[in-house]
């Protein structure tokens, strides 16, 4: 059994990394976009999320062959593939916002239809068994996480790094509270994210694109619901939630990333990132970070990663306090 799990996890990581490595060598003009936070504005492949899709396909196939798959793991990986493909289409032809939002609800509809989630633990309230509430939470969670992750795709490496931190936190929390069935799924998502991170980290050689952000966001939301980790994952992912709320409130509604003014701009004198003086520019987590003064992209990356590290640490501590209260 240990050999099977090792084959699954190592193979998933290698598939993710090697696919990302291949994508980094693409020079087809339609698949390249400029890295706007660098003075030289290098052209970077925008479909790094394909690595999430291929590694999810490998994980699904491998777990089936090795007979270590169950319904929840199958759904987790299938939804990742579905959302990644939706994002890839958006990367290539730009799907209408309403259609995109409606499609991100589909995994939640499947979960509610199949009835695979019969309870959610919400400490200190207790165990929630009201199916109307459970289904409502499920239908809201997946599109929220898909779009929240997409909104924070602003600087190199932040999305896959944050997912790695969150899933490492979920692994530790599962061990501490005795939810051992959650360990392999959380390590699997960690393996997928780590392979992408190595090519997306600063200075990026690939961009995640909508294919990557939707797939990784769906993995977070699906894991949260299927493996009953609502409270710890919600706390660990607070920077995503805060950033999303800031954008929605400051831009007065839901708008696509392409229709929003840039919250920050690059000072072409020294290459440092500063607040965009445009009054129509939305408030974002990144904008707040540079509000006190200009920063390099690397400094912004480190600041956001520190925020996720803090929220993840709080997640473990808060969850332990709540379940013992």
Residue 314 pLDDT more than 80? yes
Residue 252 pLDDT more than 90? no
The pTM for the full model equals 0.95
Q: Where are the domains of the chain?
A: 2-230
- pLDDT tier, 125 (very low <50, low <70, confident <90, very high otherwise): confident
Separation of alpha carbons 77 and 59, rounded Å: 7
Residue 200 pLDDT more than 80? yes
Residue 88 pLDDT more than 90? yes
pLDDT in tens, 7-49: 999 999 999 999 999 999 999 999 999 999 998 899 999 999 9
Separation of alpha carbons 16 and 14, rounded Å: 5
Name the β-bridge partners of 142.
none
Share of the chain above pLDDT 90, in %: 82
Q: Residue range 207-225: average pLDDT? A: 97
Tell me what pLDDT residue 124 has.
Answer: 78
Neighbours of 222 (CB within 10 A): 28
pLDDT in tens, 255-281: 556 667 788 999 877 889 999 988 888
- pLDDT tier, 186 (very low <50, low <70, confident <90, very high otherwise): very high
Separation of alpha carbons 183 and 194, rounded Å: 16
Tell me what pLDDT residue 41 has.
Answer: 93
pLDDT in tens, 129-175: 999 999 999 999 999 999 999 999 999 999 999 999 999 999 999 99
Q: 65: Cβ–Cβ under 8 A, 6 or more apart, which residues?
A: none
Tell me what pLDDT residue 250 has.
Answer: 85
Residue 224 pLDDT more than 70? yes
Neighbours of 125 (CB within 10 A): 10
């Amino acid at each position: 059994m240990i050999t099977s799990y090792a084959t699954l996890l190592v193979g998933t990581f290698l598939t993710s990394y090697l696919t990302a490595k291949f994508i980094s060598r693409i020079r087809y003009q339609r698949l390249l976009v400029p890295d706007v936070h660098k003075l030289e504005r290098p052209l970077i492949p925008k479909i790094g999320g394909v690595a999430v899709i291929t590694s999810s396909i490998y994980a699904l196939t491998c777990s089936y062959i090795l007979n270590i798959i169950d319904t929840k793991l199958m759904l987790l990986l299938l939804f990742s593939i579905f959302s990644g493909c939706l994002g890839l289409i958006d990367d290539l032809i730009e799907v209408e916002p309403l259609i995109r939002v409606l499609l991100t609800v589909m995994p939640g509809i499947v979960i509610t239809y199949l009835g695979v989630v019969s309870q959610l633990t919400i400490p200190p309230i207790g165990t929630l068994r009201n199916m109307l509430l459970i289904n409502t939470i499920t239908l809201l969670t997946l599109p929220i996480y898909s779009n929240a992750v997409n909104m924070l795709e602003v600087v190199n490496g932040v999305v896959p790094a944050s997912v790695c931190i969150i899933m490492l936190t979920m692994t530790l929390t599962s061990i501490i509270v005795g939810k051992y069935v959650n360990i392999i799924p959380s390590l699997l998502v960690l393996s997928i994210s780590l392979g992408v991170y190595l090519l997306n980290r600063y200075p990026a050689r690939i961009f995640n694109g909508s294919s990557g952000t939707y797939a990784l966001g769906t993995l977070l939301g699906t894991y949260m619901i299927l493996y009953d980790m609502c409270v710890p994952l919600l706390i660990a992912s607070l920077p995503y939630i805060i950033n999303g709320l800031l954008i929605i409130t400051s831009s007065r509604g839901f708008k696509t990333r392409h229709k929003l003014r840039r919250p920050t701009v690059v000072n072409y004198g020294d290459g440092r990132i500063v607040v965009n003086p445009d009054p129509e520019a939305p408030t974002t987590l990144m904008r707040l970070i540079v509000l006190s003064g200009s920063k390099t992209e690397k400094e912004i990356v480190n600041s956001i990663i520190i925020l996720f590290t803090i929220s993840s640490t709080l997640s473990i501590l808060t969850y332990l306090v709540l379940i013992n209260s």
